Structure 1
Amino acid sequence: MSEHTITVAGVAVDTRHWIGGERVASAQTFPDVSPIDGSTIGEISRGTGMEAAAAVAAAKAAFPAWAATSRAERARILHAIADGVEKRIEELSIVETTDNGALLRSHRRGVMPRVAHNFRFFADGLLKLEHEDFETRGHTNHVSWDPAGPSVLITPWNAPLMLATWKVAPALAAGNTVILKPAEWTPLTASLLADIAAEAGLPAGVLNVVQGYGSEIGDALTSHPDVRRISFTGSVPTAKRIAESAAANLTPLSLELGGKSPLLVFADADLDLAVDLAVEQYDNAGQVCLAATRFLVEESVAEEFTRRFVEKAGQLTQGDPRGEATDIGPNIHPLQLEKIDGFVQRAVAAGARAVIGGHGKDGQYYAPTLLTAVAQDSEIVQEEVFGPVLTLQTFATEDEAVRLANDTRFGLAATLATGDPERAERVTAQLVAGTVWTNCFFVRDLQAPFGGSRHSGVGREGGTWSFDFYCDLKNTVTSPNGWNNHG
């Protein structure tokens, strides 16, 4: 076993970068720490501008051949990668749980199968990607999707491999080469993906994985003149820095950012269903960008809703995410836990009341929290916490509910609980959000567009929207005249 290989729950993981089909070590490393118990999993190669330049050069060199590869062959390789993921679901699950603290049972049953599905969906979508030719004054218009070039993909820590492959799969399917930069807090499954892709026959340089801090390697990637696409999922401040870096080269951007989504509960809703939806917002220890963290409940049912919510939330089990009975695991990092608690303590100091929670627990575990008596213009209502912290406000009218729901700088998602289909139609039409769920939550299909409005992002991912982003769309207009007669 190489000195650069660590063993995570019996799974060997290479801690070096993957550049041009080879493992590359850096002179410096950074520690990867498990949120489960605070232990150091291993030392990871810490990339700088040198590794960024090498990865972009490898992607640039590999691009012409990959772009010229037939759609059928690209799709075949993506399906082979999906096969490799499915063979290693158990290994990927335990490594990811160790690295980011999300529930092991969720990784096994939902997240890692979704990783494989990401590759299969875009492989199949590539083969169906077409636009009907159309006529203009007797001339034929033909629309095509041309590969754009090397693409930098910067991914978050809350669902590392699933969100990475959500970008990697369409970028590769489109014929682009990729430089993947995973979050420094969760680098391990990206390294395993490099192994799986190589075993599936993906040519060297088509997928490159580089690790490190955003300020040291991320900036070098996003400002590189040979990069033709940048896709980022993460925070608004980081997105602004990336946009500034990309501006010099006019590099197209796709940004999926934060949220402060509402859950609107009307008096005519099925309250048991509404409470189930509300408690579901503690999923992944509240580290979900789509989470409906602001409960807006009609005054006449607010007391009963709160009572049922407290009872239901009290049945959740918080602890080691590897346990089958665990519902809520740890938060990702001590810095994140400090941030979460800071939000809560400032809110309480300003007059908020913690109905449940309001404090940390042992290690990196924060108690599921619900705050009431919060003002609409307060920090806790306006800013993304990204932890198991929810707020509850009341409204008297439908118009007030819509006004409160839309009154933040975000617009990623919204959830609505009502028994009146006409009200649902009225309200959803007025909500500023990229995704709206009515009487459900987190029902997702890759055919649908995904992204946010306002400060929640730029662009959409999923379906043909991903291909539109990762490609240069071309329209070829052909005259019926001028052909030489070779008959």
Structure 2
Amino acid sequence: MTVPAPGTRTREFLDRSPHGLLIDGAFWPAADGRTFSTTDPATGAVLGELARAGAGDVDAAVAAARTALEGAAWTGTTPAERAKLLWRLADLLEADLQQLAELEVLDQGKNLRTARFGEVPAAINQFRYYSGWATKILGQTIPTSLSRTPVGREVLAYTRREPVGVVAAIVPWNSPLLMASMKLAPALAAGCTVVLKPAENTPLTAVRLAELVLEAGFPAGVVNVLTGYGHEAGQALAGHPGVDKVAFTGSTAVGKRLLRAAEGNLKRLTLELGGKSPAIVLPDADLTEAVEGISRGIFDNGGQVCVASSRVYAHRDVHDRLVEGMAAFGRGLRLGHGLDPEADLGPLVSTAQAERVEGYLREDGLEVVSGGRRSGALGTFVEPTVVTGVAQDHRIVREEVFGPVVTVTPYDDLDEVLAWANDSRYGLAASVWTQGFSSAHRVAHRIRSGTVWINCHSYLGPELPKGGHKESGWGYENGPQGLENYLETKTVVGLL
């Protein structure tokens, strides 16, 4: 496989290995000196060594965040000054956009176009969007009807919106920089302090983000970054009594474990968890539009997207043409290293993930119409795969595959397909494909999910609330709802 060389700035960053932990405004080795390596999932080449945080490092980072939360350097920062810091960080990220995109490609495997023109700009937009919110966190004055007000006195009652405190931001490996930004930006706008724990598979952009946080001028301890393993640093962070809130994106199984970890001090939780998003194609849909939109919704980033359009239900009148079109679309995508400008799809994040995805294709009764094969030095490349012949009780229909695999099922009746679409423990997203305005919105209203797209899929932005129903999570990110995750309300009542 030909692996194009990354740019000079990317190579310079990689050459700075080993990378330390950001704690209290400086980079440190792990307290016990341990490190771990991160590798290119396409080739297995080692990209760098990183400090492997343990419980002692978690203690130090949480203590630094607590000190910063209560110190004048951060609490004395005005909302306008916080807004400037967030905007400055966005500018620094934008100046290093190419470098950050290349690091995402090398570490996670995604295509450079996805990183360069999609995810890294989306991460930058998070900081710009929430920069504007920093000056718009408002309380209210409350007229009261207290019957015991002393004669000649008045009651002044009002609310204050205050930061929830020290936030543990635990992010996944599929979109590392974007997921980190979706938590950091609103938390910092609200005045919280943060300990960020990136996934061990994809820590590089978190380290570079940490460097830019310092360059932007955030006070020491406001942002701390711990690289390491989930069962070590992540678990210690989630259960730490000095953490007030956990913001997590990842699997539903891990999300349920976080509930237990939060019991000690009743941490607030925001959980964006798994998905099994249905795409419903009505008989009047524009099939050219539907084929491309649904195919991109499942094949982009190798299907390693929580809102991927992995379950397709097509009216029997258009089912065969949709299957044929999606299979052709998938066959037309070229697999290759993410830095290869000719490649459309890179590898999955690891051999273990590729093996997991392949395992779903071994179920009895499935018809693999196209794709389904693995390739590459590590077996991490998985062809875009279209599957038919599935029943509602197949694992491939019930579980989150998290790979470039889509099932397509015919239906005859609208009530029937809506029952199938809602017959899932997940409820993160869905899409409806039709040229009928009334039909589109009627169907959208009956689907139980946090987001429904009409004639599109995976349209996301910092202004659009994103969250899950059922076992797809608690709470919402993005928009004003995303800011609410990091605020608490205090009522103040006084006699004048």
**TM-score, normalised with respect to structure 2:** 0.92
How far apart in 1 are the matches of 2:163 and 2:346? 41
In the TM superposition, what is the alpha-carbon distance from 1:141 to its structure 2 partner?
4.9
- 2:437 aligned partner: 421
**Contact 2:65 2:223 survives alignment (8 Å):** yes
In the alignment, is residue 273 of structure 1 matched against residue 289 of structure 2? yes
1:174-213 matched pairs, under 5 angstroms: 174-213=190-229
Corresponding residue pairs, total? 472
Q: Secondary structure at the match of 1:192?
A: helix
**TM-score, normalised with respect to structure 1:** 0.94
- 1:300 aligned partner: 317
**Contact 1:67 1:147 survives alignment (8 Å):** no
- 1:291 aligned partner: 308
2:22 to 18, 38, 42: 18
- 1:324 aligned partner: 341
- 1:3 aligned partner: none
1:98 to 98, 106, 113: 106
Amino acid at match of 1:82: A
**Contact 2:122 2:461 survives alignment (8 Å):** no
Structure 1 residues 23, 10: CA separation in 2 closer, same or farther (over 3 Å shift)? closer
What are structure 1's unaligned runs of at least 5 residues? 1-5
How far apart in 2 are the matches of 1:94 and 1:22? 25
Q: Secondary structure at the match of 1:351?
A: coil
Q: Secondary structure at the match of 1:384?
A: coil
**Contact 2:272 2:467 survives alignment (8 Å):** yes
How far apart in 2 are the matches of 1:207 and 1:270? 47
In the TM superposition, what is the alpha-carbon distance from 1:102 to its structure 2 partner?
0.9
In the alignment, is residue 338 of structure 1 matched against residue 355 of structure 2? yes
Greater CA drift, 454-463 or 320-329: 320-329
Q: Deviations over 1:282-314 (max 9, x none)?
A: 000110101110010001111121122222222
1:158-177 matched pairs, under 5 angstroms: 158-177=174-193
- 2:116 aligned partner: 108
Greater CA drift, 127-136 or 43-52: 127-136
- 2:244 aligned partner: 228
In the TM superposition, what is the alpha-carbon distance from 1:9 to its structure 2 partner?
3.1
How far apart in 2 are the matches of 1:441 and 1:140? 49
- 2:374 aligned partner: 360
1:46 to 24, 49, 52: 52
In the TM superposition, what is the alpha-carbon distance from 1:142 to its structure 2 partner?
3.1
How far apart in 1 are the matches of 2:250 and 2:473? 10
Q: Deviations over 1:229-271 (max 9, x none)?
A: 1000001111111110111210000000010000100101111
In the TM superposition, what is the alpha-carbon distance from 1:477 to its structure 2 partner?
4.3
How far apart in 1 are the matches of 2:360 and 2:10? 33
In the alignment, is residue 387 of structure 1 matched against residue 403 of structure 2? yes
What are structure 2's unaligned runs of at least 5 residues? 1-7, 146-153
In the alignment, is residue 144 of structure 1 matched against residue 152 of structure 2? no
Q: Secondary structure at the match of 1:282?
A: helix
- 2:172 aligned partner: 156
**Contact 1:145 1:468 survives alignment (8 Å):** no
In the TM superposition, what is the alpha-carbon distance from 1:403 to its structure 2 partner?
0.6
Amino acid at match of 1:160: P
Amino acid at match of 1:105: R
Cα RMSD, aligned residues only:
1.7
Q: Deviations over 1:9-53 (max 9, x none)?
A: 343455111111111112111121111211111222111101111
Identical-pair percentage: 39
Greater CA drift, 66-75 or 97-106: 66-75
Structure 1 residues 110, 163: CA separation in 2 closer, same or farther (over 3 Å shift)? same
Amino acid at match of 1:19: I
How far apart in 2 are the matches of 1:36 and 1:214? 23
In the alignment, is residue 73 of structure 1 matched against residue 75 of structure 2? no
How far apart in 2 are the matches of 1:133 and 1:182? 40
**Contact 1:9 1:94 survives alignment (8 Å):** no
How far apart in 2 are the matches of 1:141 and 1:456? 38
In the alignment, is residue 312 of structure 1 matched against residue 320 of structure 2? no
How far apart in 2 are the matches of 1:141 and 1:291? 47
Q: Secondary structure at the match of 2:490?
A: strand
Greater CA drift, 202-211 or 87-96: 87-96
